[in-house]
């Protein structure tokens, strides 16, 4: 089988670059809570730190679509045709079943980034690979390496791989579709080549079409569900947050929900399937340790439908659910990754058409048994384990320059240079991180490795990249001892590393404490203040403002933001002013916010997050003309679970109600009562309704 290289024509939006401000991880208690009856063996490792640095946020997309030519790799045999996008994290865009002449996945007709991932930008549809830390991966909307290799039978296969910088891990997956195979076979290998253990994470996320009778079947019935801030333990087909309802049908959910399907025994091969209403089935099966499965759906309510349409091509499109597979009991769990070790498994994907009445039998156990009999007739546990043994050998094949068909980040090559210089582990031989992949973002770190210093930026410049691994501390500290490297830029990076780094050698809930975080903040403050004493500059002032805001020193934070904005070049990028306006909203500094907003150039006023902050001020200052225009526009920077647009709408309605009732200068308590009424009397326009629930008693799924 030969792999076809080409371009896939699709309408969509470019990712549009990155936000240059470092997005420091959240502090505070990262431990998840659970009910008393929650099993003891599932309490270990329950809670995660969720960093995005050293990666920068991808929040520069819009909803202005155009024709895109996306690089694609196509595997095809007599049964399946599979399309892979290496520019989007190695995502599988499509698996087309040539026998049934049907698409097995939800295939999004557009590329529409939205704010759902670790780095903000995320796409719905297809199959994505999530490694490293909780959330839609740092590479989900980024380039990864892709190579084409040959197996022993002359079949070509695809290798996707990358170096992941939040946890300093290497990952690769090989996609095989040999002649005669009814299944796409995916062999995944994770590497920790270093002398210290760490924690890791993997979930394969698969979007399947929700035809409003799609049913999800799985090999096991025990599940972890999550409601009211508590982890619970339930048994399918019901979960307690949906009493009396068959939770195996996404269409039954009144609110967004998910649950994590557990394993029964070590060494088993688990499966999950999406059965459509006409009998078409998509399924996946995996070897250990990819035991755990998941169902996520948006819910059969206005906000849920709006989100799916917003992620796709508008009204009537985009309806999907996600079935997923992971290596830990839930996505709130961490998995320990021992020093100098590998974790690997094999997962297969396929489709068929079966008896729809049996798949949708009201007796869930009978439906599961029906599909279990089928899957064991086409690929047994032993079959998959034999494939795992075969493909684990091929996973060791090296990638050469001639195999490489798409380049990922140059930071893999930088890490290889550092590893060799420090004698710190051996890079995986099955991956190639060539020097020619190093670009402008990586060059400051190559200069630090080779010449021993960090070059000084101009005061109005923002760094293109960061390093926050403790492995880089000796180099940055050494830079400060040189004539060329004793500068504010080196201090900026030392402060960022000091504030952001954390002990990854054990479960986060055990190794990271509040005292440790406060100590790091104090050290970072001291370092950044040294940098400001050398050269006042935009980014260090911003970092000090960020730090003081987190510490509750709001007047100091505001002063630092003002100092940053007073420097030349502060509005060269929208990020700083956008963040400052969010700060002023939270401090209820509405008059100052509105005054700043009016003074901004038009290019800033068009930035969606700036518009939303201005609307929050406008609602408190009675700027109804602005709000009426605001509600007529389409907004694009809305975070999953965020309800800012509907909050503004209901308050807007409450103020109008007060005026209609002759209530002059209503106090906050009166406004809150009227907001409660507005929920029932004035439903928001579909264009602004992103609520995960329209139940007043369950207003938020996650906090903003």
Look at residues 559, 125, 588 and name the one whose alpha carbon lies nearest to residue 320. 125
Which residue shows structure tokens 């470092």? 22
Q: For the segment 463-486, what is each residue's pLDDT rounded down to a tens digit?
A: 999 999 999 999 999 999 999 999
Cα separation, 580 vs 582, whole angstroms: 5
Reported as a pLDDT band with limits 50, 70 and 90, residue 702 is very low
Cα gap 369→674, rounded to integer Å: 53
Residue 608 has pLDDT above 80, yes or no: yes
Residue 114: band (very low, low, confident or very high) from pLDDT cuts 50, 70, 90: very high
429, with CB counted inside 10 A (0-12, 13-18, 19+), is exposed
pLDDT in tens, 53-93: 999 999 999 999 999 999 999 999 999 999 999 999 999 99
* Residue 29, pLDDT score: 65
State residue 698's pLDDT score: 59
pLDDT for position 226: 85
Other Cβ atoms less than 10 A from the Cβ of 339: the count is: 13
> What's the sign of the alpha-carbon dihedral 627, 628, 629, 632?
positive
| pLDDT value for 519 | 94
Residue 695 binned pLDDT confidence (cut-offs 50, 70, 90):
low
Calpha distance 234→261 (Å, rounded): 9
Q: For residue 101, what pLDDT is reported?
A: 94
What's the CA gap between 105 and 283, in Å, rounded?
10
Q: How does 304-320 read in b/e, with b if 16+ C-beta sit within 10 Å?
A: bbbbbbbbbbeeeebbb
**In degrees rounded to 5, what are phi and psi of residue 357?**
-70, -35
Return the pLDDT at 691: 83
Confidence of residue 700 (pLDDT cuts 50, 70, 90): very low
Query: What pLDDT score does 28 carry?
Result: 73
> For 530-543, what is the mean pLDDT?
97
Please give the structure tokens belonging to residue 337. 């990754």
- Mean predicted lDDT score pLDDT of the chain: 93
pLDDT given for residue 642 in this prediction: 85
pLDDT per position as a tens digit, 240-253: 888 889 999 999 98
Q: Tell me, what's the pLDDT at 158?
A: 98
For residue 227, the model assigns a pLDDT of 78
CA distance 409 to 119: 15
CATH topology of domain 4-20+56-394: Beta-galactosidase; Chain A, domain 5 (2.70.98)
- Report how far residue 593's alpha carbon sits from residue 595's, in angstroms, rounded to the nearest whole number: 5
Residues near 689 by Cβ (< 8 Å), separated by ≥ 6?
Answer: 302, 303, 306, 645, 646, 683
Residue 320, pLDDT > 80, answer yes
- Inform me whether the pLDDT recorded for 108 exceeds 70: yes
- Considering the entire predicted model, what is its pTM? 0.94
Distance CA 515, CA 173 (A): 39
Contact 1, 179 (CB under 8 A): yes
Phi-psi region of 43 (alpha: psi -120 to 50; beta: other; left: phi over 0): alpha
Distance CA 250, CA 326 (A): 20
Length of the chain: 704
The residue-averaged pLDDT of 345-353 equals: 97
**What does the alpha-carbon distance between residue 205 and residue 582 come to, in Å, rounded to a whole number?**
32
508 in Cβ contact with 45 (< 8 Å): no
Residue 687: pLDDT band with limits 50, 70, 90: confident
Helix or strand run (H / E) with residue 323: strand 320-326
Alpha-carbon gap, residue 467 to 202, rounded angstroms: 23
Q: How far apart are CA 490 and CA 477, in angstroms?
A: 8
Smallest CA-to-CA distance from 169 within 46, 327, 387, 25 is with 327
Band (pLDDT 50/70/90 cuts) for residue 701 is very low
Six token digits for residue 349:
């994907």
pLDDT digits (tens, 9 = 90+) for 645-685: 999 999 999 999 998 999 988 888 999 999 999 988 998 88
Percent of the chain with pLDDT over 90: 81
Q: Give the model's pLDDT for residue 443.
A: 97
pLDDT-derived band at 694 (thresholds 50, 70, 90) equals: low
d(CA 186, CA 348): 6
pLDDT digits 0-9 by tens, 382-441:
999 999 999 999 999 999 999 999 999 999 999 999 999 999 999 999 999 999 999 999
Q: Answer yes or no: is pLDDT of 641 > 90.
A: no
Q: What is the pLDDT of residues 133-172, one digit of tens each?
A: 999 999 999 999 999 999 999 899 999 999 999 999 999 9
Q: How far apart are CA 49 and CA 509, in angstroms?
A: 8
Spatial distance between the Cα atoms of 280 and 224, rounded to a whole number of angstroms: 28
pLDDT at position 697 is: 62
Q: Which residues contact 291 (CB under 8 A, 6 or more apart)?
A: 262, 263, 268, 270, 327
Give the pLDDT mean for 196-222. 96
Distance CA(448)–CA(443), nearest Å, equals 9
């Amino acid at each position: 089988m030969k792999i076809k290289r080409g371009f896939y024509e699709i309408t969509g939006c470019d990712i549009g670059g990155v936000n240059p401000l470092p997005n420091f991880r959240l502090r505070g208690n990262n431990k998840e809570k659970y009910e008393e009856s929650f099993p003891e063996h599932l309490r270990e490792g329950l809670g995660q730190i969720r960093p995005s640095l050293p990666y920068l946020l991808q929040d520069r997309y819009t909803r202005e679509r155009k024709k895109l030519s996306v690089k694609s790799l196509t595997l095809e045999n007599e049964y399946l045709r599979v399309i892979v996008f290496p520019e989007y994290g190695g995502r599988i865009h499509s698996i087309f079943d040539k026998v049934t002449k049907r698409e097995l996945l939800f295939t999004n007709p557009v590329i529409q980034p939205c704010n759902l991932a670790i780095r903000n930008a995320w796409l719905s549809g297809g199959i994505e690979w999530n490694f490293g830390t909780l959330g839609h991966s740092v590479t989900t909307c980024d380039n990864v390496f892709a190579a084409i290799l040959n197996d022993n039978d002359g079949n070509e296969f695809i290798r996707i791989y990358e170096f992941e910088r939040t946890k300093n891990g290497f990952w690769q997956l090989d996609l095989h579709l040999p002649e005669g195979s009814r299944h796409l076979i995916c062999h995944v290998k994770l590497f920790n080549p270093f002398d210290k253990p760490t924690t890791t994470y993997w979930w394969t996320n698969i979007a399947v079409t929700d035809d409003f009778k799609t049913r999800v079947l799985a090999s096991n019935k025990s599940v972890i569900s999550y409601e009211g801030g508590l982890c619970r333990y339930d048994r399918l087909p019901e979960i307690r947050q949906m009493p009396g309802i068959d939770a195996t049908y996404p269409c039954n959910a009144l609110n967004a929900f998910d649950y994590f399907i557990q394993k029964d025994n070590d060494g088993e091969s688990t499966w999950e399937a999406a059965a459509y209403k006409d009998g078409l089935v998509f399924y996946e099966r995996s070897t250990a340790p990819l035991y755990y499965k998941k169902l996520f759906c948006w819910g059969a309510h206005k906000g849920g439908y709006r989100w799916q349409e917003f992620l796709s091509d508008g009204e009537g499109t985009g309806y999907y659910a996600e079935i997923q597979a992971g290596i830990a009991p839930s996505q709130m769990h961490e998995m320990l990754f021992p020093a100098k070790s590998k974790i690997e498994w094999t997962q297969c994907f396929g489709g068929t058409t079966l008896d729809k009445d049996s798949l949708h039998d009201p007796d869930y156990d009978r439906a599961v048994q029906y599909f279990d009999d089928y899957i064991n007739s086409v690929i047994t546990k032993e079959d998959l384990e034999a494939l795992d043994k075969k493909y684990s050998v091929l996973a060791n094949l090296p990638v050469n320059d001639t195999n490489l068909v798409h380049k990922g980040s140059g930071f893999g090559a930088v890490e290889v240079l550092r590893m060799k210089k420090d004698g710190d582990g051996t890079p995986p031989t099955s991956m190639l991180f060539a020097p020619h992949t190093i670009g402008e973002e990586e060059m400051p770190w190559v200069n630090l490795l080779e010449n021993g210093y960090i070059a000084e930026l101009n005061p109005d410049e923002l760094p293109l990249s960061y390093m926050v691994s403790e492995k880089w501390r000796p180099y940055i500290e050494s830079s400060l001892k040189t004539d060329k490297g004793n500068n504010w830029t080196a201090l900026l990076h030392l402060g960022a590393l000091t504030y952001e780094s954390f002990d990854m050698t054990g479960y986060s809930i055990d190794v990271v404490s509040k005292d440790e975080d406060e100590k790091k903040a104090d050290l970072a403050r001291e370092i950044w203040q040294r940098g400001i004493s050398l050269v006042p500059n935009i980014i260090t002032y911003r970092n000090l403002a960020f730090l003081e805001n987190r510490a509750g020193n709001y007047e100091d934070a505001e002063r630092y933001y003002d100092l940053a904005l007073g420097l030349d070049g502060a509005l060269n990028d929208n990020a700083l002013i956008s963040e400052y306006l969010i700060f002023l909203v939270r401090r209820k500094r509405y008059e100052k916010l509105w005054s700043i907003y009016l003074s901004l150039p038009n290019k800033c006023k068009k930035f969606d997050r700036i518009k939303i902050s201005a609307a929050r001020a406008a609602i408190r200052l009675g700027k109804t003309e602005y709000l009426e225009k605001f509600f007529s526009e389409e907004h694009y920077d809305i975070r999953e679970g965020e309800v800012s647009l509907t909050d503004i709408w209901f308050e807007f309605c409450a103020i109008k109600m007060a005026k209609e009732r002759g209530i002059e200068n209503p106090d906050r308590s009166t406004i809150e009562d009227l907001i409660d009424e507005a929920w029932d009397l004035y439903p928001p326009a579909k264009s602004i309704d992103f609520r995960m629930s329209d139940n007043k008693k369950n207003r938020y799924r996650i906090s903003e």
